[in-house]
Amino acid sequence: MKINNRQNLLVATLVGVLACAATIARAADPLPSWNDGQARQSIVAFVTKVTQPGSPDFVPPAERIATFDNDGTLWAEQPMYFQFFFALDRVKVLAPQHPEWKTKEPFASLLKGDMKSALAGGDRSLLEIVMATHAGMSTEEFDKIVKDWIATAKHPVTKRPYTEMVYQPMLEVLAYLRANGFKTFIVSGGGIEFMRPWVERVYGIPPEQVVGSSIKTKFEMRNGKPVLVRLPELNFIDDKEGKPVGIGQHIGRRPIAAFGNSDGDLQMLQYTAAGSGPRFCLYVHHTDAAREWAYDRKSHIGKLDKGLDEAAAKGWTVVDMKNDWKNIYPPERK
């Protein structure tokens, strides 16, 4: 077949039109990293019905509150909560100023790299490590410490920055909800001031929409400047029964959608589900040992046992990471 110039032009135009149509189709898919399946369909169906004016399930934008756990729901949490790696790195940085740590537990074992002995004291050891590394400075100094760490630290297994170990499919859910008038909140057992310095950049969630565990702070003049000083004293544990309490304190409204991955999120999902009108609860189930980690009922971190039973009984959405997600993490940055 011989193609003349006019035909060439026509072909070029057609190719252009088709390419453009494909782009539009792609742009119109808000969840490109999700395989078509029950999980994906349930998300789209929920968002569609609560945003359709005139629908009996319509929810006014002001009430479209969605809460997300962080560890294991928005980013990975294995082999340990990432905030714990932060604390360990801080112990190493601060060790020269604390010669007593050489013989004082849990620091002595930590500095020798003996994690098991360091944590033998359970919650008390953990609390000591957190207080030694998270308190004493102003909130603004701590903000800078976290920002500096998260910009450079690498995950021990993947060797990627922690902020690249966020779940691409969940980033898409966050953006999809916000594009549909939802306000997205983090409600995490992690430290509120450990998350705030980076979640706006990474998740598009501003500091004032972060609920988390916290230590007390005190208003104080330092060098003539009023600051908030972080005290070595627990303020609030935002886990299990604490999550609905944290939601009450910070948001003051029952969410209509909640996302978690462990039994620590169960009360948040129960609280969300029990409101009147349409509700959406989702568990991320870690089933992908090849691309991420596979764990649930017996895991020492992010244990999902009772939650899995309740999700089945109540018909909540359970994401099968291996089969529902095309990608786990965003593409590596150069």
The answer to whether the beta carbons of residues 261 and 69 sit under 8 Å apart is yes
62 binds a second copy (CB under 8 A): yes
Interacting residue with a second copy among 40, 64, 90, 250 (CB under 8 A): 250
Shortest separation between residue 46's beta carbon and a second copy, angstroms? 20
233 binds a second copy (CB under 8 A): no
CA angle 222, 227, 228 (to 5 degrees): 120
Lookup: tokens for 198: 């980076």
Nearest Cα to Cα of residue 302 among 315, 316, 284, 314: 284
Contact positions with a second copy (CB under 8 A) in 203-232: 206-210, 214, 217-219, 225-228
φ, ψ of residue 219 to 5 degrees: the values are: -75, 130
Contact positions with a second copy (CB under 8 A) in 97-126: none
Q: HSE-up of 173 (CA within 13 Å, CB side)?
A: 30
Distance CA 255, CA 252 (A): 9
Shortest separation between residue 246's beta carbon and a second copy, angstroms? 10
Shortest separation between residue 254's beta carbon and a second copy, angstroms? 8
Distance CA 68, CA 211 (A): 10
183 binds a second copy (CB under 8 A): yes
Number of residues in contact with a second copy under rule CB under 8 A: 39
The answer to whether the beta carbons of residues 283 and 260 sit under 8 Å apart is yes
Closer Cβ to a second copy, 97 or 276, answer by number: 276
Distance CA 32, CA 47 (A): 16
174 binds a second copy (CB under 8 A): no
Contact positions with a second copy (CB under 8 A) in 124-153: 139-140
285 binds a second copy (CB under 8 A): no
Interacting residue with a second copy among 241, 277, 297, 315 (CB under 8 A): 241
Residue 32: cis peptide before it, omega within 30 degrees of 0: no
Q: Under the rule (CB under 8 A), what is the footprint of a second copy?
A: 62, 65, 139-140, 183, 185, 192-193, 196, 200, 206-210, 214, 217-219, 225-228, 235, 241-242, 244-245, 248-254, 267, 270-271, 274
